[in-house]
Structure 1
Amino acid sequence: MDDAVATPRHPQPPFSSSPGFGTPAYPVQPRRGPVPSRAGFAQHATTATTATGASGAGSVLPILLPAQTLRPVAFRTLTKKHNLTLTSSALALLATFIGKFCGTGWREESLAERLLDEVAKAWKAQDGGILVEDGPDKKLSAILKSLEPCMLAGRVDVAKLSRTNSFSRNPLSRTYSLGRQDSQSSLGVAGLPRLVYSTTKKTLETVAGDASLLPAVQRKTAMFRNRYNLIHQRLLRHESFQTPSFASAQPPTLQRSASSVTAMSHAYKITPISNLLGRSGSSHLLLGLLALSPTSDLCLTDLSGSVVLDTTYSRCVPEDGAWFCCGMIVLVAGTYEEDGSNNSTLGASGGPGGQIKGRFVADTFAGPLPEKREASLGINHDSRRNHIDTSLGPAFGWVDFLGLGSEKAVGQQMRQIRRRILGAPRQEDDQAARRRTRSKIAILGECHLDSPRTLEAIRSILRIYSATDQPLAIVLMGNFVSAASMAGSIQGGGSVEYKEHFDALASVLSEFPRLLATTTFVFVPGDNDPWASSFGAGAATCLPRQPLPDLFTSRVRRAFTQANNDHGSTTRPDTAPGAAVWSSNPARISLFGPVEEVVLFRDDLAARMRRNSLLFPKLDAATPAAADDDGDQQQQQQDTVAIDTRTARKLVKSLLDQSHLSPFPLSLRPVLSDYASALSLCPLPTALLLCDPSAPRFCVTYEACVVVNPGRNSSMFWAEYDVKRRRAEIREGRF
């Protein structure tokens, strides 16, 4: 019996698309060889083949399509239909692609219009923005490359396009499916975008081209100009610098309200230095960079010129609340006197663009007003409704500061992941949830591995975390030796001794394999660590500096590999394996994309600011009674606030007001100009983990930014930062 005939005992087999199989009917794959045809259908097959070839892909005749010829069609499709703006370089790229794949029928058959419509849809799907350009990320080139296999006879094959999109992954699609193991990223200098402020577009742009260690001289001047532009636009957004409808003729003065400088009833107005010419005896508010002139006079410099400062009767606001050093951008209020002094043209020409004549008698010095991270990113958090509005305020919400997505692109999705992972546990499983949720970062500062006391302190701290709740990450900051390594000194030693110190650390870490298999260790170098210490001899080297060489850290990396092999299978599947991250200085830890940004930095900031700060004269009181009252009030304030607390607040305010990690001249702290954007603190991070042995240990919150300094680790002091509560504390242990 024929198998195709159905019988009661042998039913006919179902088709492949039957619900009994539950499998879809896939399209038949094309044969590699020609299908044999009957003799009677030979003529019909030849005719069909000829008709198909007339409209196939081989019939497209490529042409050289000028960009100006394509411009009207591109404007009608992209601008009017999709509200997109096309640059000249992108138009030329599209013209080349359309001329190659659409050929002579690009206008008559509307092939170009259909192709541009698909390009616009793909551009919007990838959140490319309003401006269509082929930037450094080559996003437009990637879209056109994905459309090449879908082109058939000058048209986009919808079937191939849908099939390609189903297998291709959106660059941002990974963000929406992040889990616990993907919510943390350690970023060094090489992984951060190089951003510069554009005065024409009023936003931050990515610098094109590769960075260089020896760039042109213009890059060095652009570094200070970028700092000035960022602070200037930040001040203009502040309500104290917005002129009211009914302005008073009385000039405003800098006043103190709480911990910041605010306006009471008048709006401030910043005067360019070049506008002081011919206005002798008038009061002004200047914004500029403190610097020394070629004649060693203290001067203030902005983009229009510079003027010599007279600080005989100056005071700072708040009193003894911040340090003011050369290299910082400050607000200075005072009176301009054009008395014919300071007419020297040494090193600069007079007039606009150079040093103007006369002097500016400064009355008040103040740092630029800070701005919270939410305000810089355009976020308004409604605590009543637990809702975040990302559509308020002129801010940098669409700027990708970390290379992980902008705030307005992925911020809302990342907050949902944060609430799912670090959300408040329920009452019935409170203790179990607290064990599962790891939200703490431990910071160990100034870990001198050549000291046995430091190694014993590290062992005791790791024993504490191994027995209790394991942290999310452990940060070990340099200097890792007490003296400069490979600098020719006996105390610092050479490369062999330096590697032996890390081998000793590896033996300590190997005692806690379960902790190594579940925790990320981040190592931040200092000035005494190679290779910078070999020529710096412990002095201030260039920032940012590279990670420690792999030559000295092989034993530590081997300890992590062995721990992951032995205990990696026993950990939870949603936990990332342990790793040793050798980061640069400074470095950043990104938690949940742009939602949480933690900056790691090692430098002796307090000591450098003390050495180079301006000394303001102490003004005498007008009457003895007033002097007694002021003296009693100051004595009460000094009694209530400890000296270490005042020093910590002074350091934090001086640093965060500048929105920069190294607000010093290049003669004090050299900076690689092409990597200067890695030192920027715009917007303010959620936490700044600072290791400064010259300052006391502290945990200070300023403008919603948590600043932590653990100090030295030799006495078993370390700091803990809780990501969930955004709080920090200094911890102390015993050997």
Structure 2
Amino acid sequence: MTSNKSLVVNLFKLHGLTARSDGAKYLCELLEPLPKDEHEKWIEKVIEAVQKLPISSTLISKEDIHKAAKEVGTADNDDIENLLQVVDIFRVPRLTYNNERKKFVVAPAIPRDLHGEASDKAALFRERYTVVHQRTCNHDLFRQPVVGTTEEDGKKFGLTKVEYLLGSSCRLQEVVVLGLLTQLIEGQHHLEDDTGAVQLDLSDTKFHNGLFTHNCFILVEGWYEDGLLHANAVGLPPPEAANSTRARMGNVNYFGGQGTVCTKNILKLQQVEQENKDAMFVLLSDVWLDKIKVTDKLRTLFAGYAHFPPTAFIFCGNFLSSCHGANQAFELQQALASLGSIISGYPELITNSRFIFVPGPNDPGPGNIFPRPSLPEYVTKEIKKTVPNSIFVNNPCRLLYCTQEIVIFRENIVAKMCRNCIYFPTSSDEIPSHFAKTLVSQGHLAPLPLHVLPVYWGLDHCLSLHPTPDLIITADKGDAFTTTHNESIIVNPGSFSTTDFSFKVYMPATRQIEDSQIGDDDDAI
């Protein structure tokens, strides 16, 4: 034990760290069952994990070593059960900007009331603004020039605060302002930031790509005079590559799930992700279980995948074609039980696949305020008896597959954003790309007024898209689409029941989306 303790202390010193006595002793106890010739290798792994922790001192405590050792054990575990994690959306870490360290850090986990106070509503918009503002300031076009550079190095733009505009008594030319597009007075548009609000003149404005809705953040380029900001051009804030965001945040777990470090940096998971070429996610939305033709098509779907089971089937509501009033919960319970009976006929799927259910707007549960909890236990208890791998998740939902971050949101968000635009794109064919750009640039699933898409004030961070996930599934009742923006895939599987029984299949090893459907000849294409 003494020689091991000396080895621990010396190896920590070689990396510029000092292990406290109780921490070194604790690590020796963990190493005791392992072969002695492997001790140094495992100590090095623990040190590497310690360096990835958000530590503030070179003095390493027992608690730090415990976290690091736990992370090493998790990363080294290649059990298939750990490859796919379902993240509890109500336990998602909340990011906050630290002015002293000039970076986003994970805020301490504190209990939050579902119905917050007025201060929580103010904090909601302030935190959204901080994310967009810091990301914009880090962009090449807005980053402050380094001393010694010349104009030949490229033109830089400076962001002007609303407070500065309001305090000016003369005309200001070529100002660029980042703020929230609001309508404080009916019929008048305003731009609001953390210092104030100014009225906008959009009568002669060029709009860049995107869906410009109320309560979204925009960049306005124009001139200011007599309390009015005349917009020459309006665009969305620039996105930031997820790798750049994570590099500034450090190796902390910002997405949720098991472990304290970001899964992107776990080499073993990267390797498994690339080697597992057969992994796939089947995405379906509007699966109406009270329609006989739908259940027949599902039976065909399961039969087609019986011999090569997907990693998961992701079913998004609504799960009934119409509202059944007081009998809604009972009808859905019976429909899910029937679905369970169908799935039970395919034992390979039950053994190897997960069945994930995301509630829709008309499914039983509390009102459509987000984040929304999963379907009630009363509704799901029967199907769980026959399909143990059925998982009923929140809306929105987060999944971690190896190193890939997946966000699922079941809401008619595209239609709502189009209805609340102040400027509509000239071509409806371009709506998916405009929508994807808006969602990613805002770093949020719901860039809309709270009366259009209500959000619990204290849980607004659960709808955050910062850093940008690898896959965003927005299950909307509109037309299916697949597009990419900022190295992220944004996909809408479309309505399974109201179209030609089409669905999407995601292949994580190649990051490809395949269009599929079940035709009348009962062959999945």
TM tier, smaller = 0.7 to 0.9
Taking a change above 3 Å as real, the CA distance of residues 616 and 439 of structure 1, as seen in their structure-2 partners, is: closer
In the alignment, structure 1 residue 700 sits paired with structure 2 residue 483:
yes
Q: Which residue of 1 aligns with 2:223?
A: 335
Distance 1:131 1:524 in 2: 40
Q: Does the 8 A contact of 2:71 with 2:260 survive in 1?
A: no
In the alignment, structure 1 residue 404 sits paired with structure 2 residue 258:
yes
Q: Mark the runs of 5 or more structure 2 residues left unpaired by the alignment.
A: 1-12, 29-42
Trace 1:10-159 onto structure 2 (pairs within 5 A): 82=17, 126=50, 128-131=53-56
Taking a change above 3 Å as real, the CA distance of residues 333 and 550 of structure 1, as seen in their structure-2 partners, is: same
Between stretches 175-184 and 268-277, larger displacement belongs to 175-184
Q: Which residue of 2 aligns with 1:454?
A: 294
Give the match's secondary structure for 2:123: helix
Q: Does the 8 A contact of 1:240 with 1:268 survive in 2?
A: yes
Counterpart code for 2:252: W
Q: Does the 8 A contact of 1:699 with 1:729 survive in 2?
A: no
Distance 1:219 1:119 in 2: 42
Q: Does the 8 A contact of 2:496 with 2:502 survive in 1?
A: yes
Q: Does the 8 A contact of 1:482 with 1:528 survive in 2?
A: no
Q: Which residue of 2 aligns with 1:551?
A: 378
Give the match's secondary structure for 2:377: coil
Taking a change above 3 Å as real, the CA distance of residues 83 and 332 of structure 1, as seen in their structure-2 partners, is: farther
Between stretches 607-616 and 327-336, larger displacement belongs to 607-616
Q: Which residue of 2 aligns with 1:188?
A: 88
The structural deviation recorded for 1:169 is: 6.4
Alignment equivalent of 1:504, drawn from 338, 362, 371 = 338
**RMSD over aligned Cα atoms:** 3.2
Distance 1:405 1:713 in 2: 36
Counterpart code for 2:470: T
Identity over aligned pairs, percent: 25
Give the match's secondary structure for 1:664: coil
The structural deviation recorded for 1:733 is: 1.8
Q: Which residue of 1 aligns with 2:134?
A: 233
In the alignment, structure 1 residue 316 sits paired with structure 2 residue 207:
yes
In the alignment, structure 1 residue 603 sits paired with structure 2 residue 387:
no
In the alignment, structure 1 residue 676 sits paired with structure 2 residue 460:
yes
Distance 1:116 1:686 in 2: 37
Q: Give deviations 1:484-512, integer Å, cap 9, x for gaps.
A: 454x6xxxx43322222222222222222
The structural deviation recorded for 1:406 is: 5.6
In the alignment, structure 1 residue 591 sits paired with structure 2 residue 401:
yes
Distance 2:27 2:187 in 1: 58
The structural deviation recorded for 1:727 is: 0.8
The structural deviation recorded for 1:330 is: 0.8
Counterpart code for 1:324: F
Q: Does the 8 A contact of 1:466 with 1:514 survive in 2?
A: yes
What TM-score comes out, normalization by structure 1 length? 0.60
Distance 2:424 2:318 in 1: 34
Distance 1:726 1:523 in 2: 22
In the alignment, structure 1 residue 443 sits paired with structure 2 residue 283:
yes
Taking a change above 3 Å as real, the CA distance of residues 275 and 604 of structure 1, as seen in their structure-2 partners, is: same
Q: Which residue of 1 aligns with 2:240?
A: 371
Distance 2:17 2:110 in 1: 30
Greater Rg over alpha carbons, structure: 1
Give the match's secondary structure for 2:385: helix
Q: Does the 8 A contact of 2:71 with 2:261 survive in 1?
A: no
Give the match's secondary structure for 1:597: strand
The structural deviation recorded for 1:223 is: 1.4
Q: Does the 8 A contact of 1:180 with 1:421 survive in 2?
A: no
In the alignment, structure 1 residue 724 sits paired with structure 2 residue 509:
yes
Distance 1:337 1:617 in 2: 29
The structural deviation recorded for 1:200 is: 3.5
Give the match's secondary structure for 2:211: coil
Counterpart code for 2:401: L
Distance 2:192 2:27 in 1: 46
Q: Does the 8 A contact of 2:286 with 2:477 survive in 1?
A: yes
What TM-score comes out, normalization by structure 2 length? 0.83
Distance 2:319 2:57 in 1: 48
The structural deviation recorded for 1:457 is: 2.0
Q: What is the number of equivalent residue pairs in this alignment?
A: 480
Distance 1:713 1:247 in 2: 57
Q: Mark the runs of 5 or more structure 1 residues left unpaired by the alignment.
A: 1-77, 85-112, 134-138, 147-164, 250-263, 339-357, 379-393, 424-435, 562-578, 619-637
Alignment equivalent of 1:481, drawn from 304, 320, 341 = 320
Distance 1:483 1:617 in 2: 32
Q: Does the 8 A contact of 1:193 with 1:403 survive in 2?
A: no
Give the match's secondary structure for 1:699: strand
In the alignment, structure 1 residue 520 sits paired with structure 2 residue 354:
yes
Q: Does the 8 A contact of 2:22 with 2:62 survive in 1?
A: no
Counterpart code for 2:483: V
Taking a change above 3 Å as real, the CA distance of residues 687 and 616 of structure 1, as seen in their structure-2 partners, is: closer
Q: Which residue of 2 aligns with 1:46?
A: none
The structural deviation recorded for 1:455 is: 1.4
Q: Which residue of 2 aligns with 1:417?
A: 269
Q: Give deviations 1:312-345, integer Å, cap 9, x for gaps.
A: 001211xxx311011101111111111xxxxxxx
Between stretches 517-526 and 279-288, larger displacement belongs to 279-288
Which has a greater percent of strand?
Answer: 2
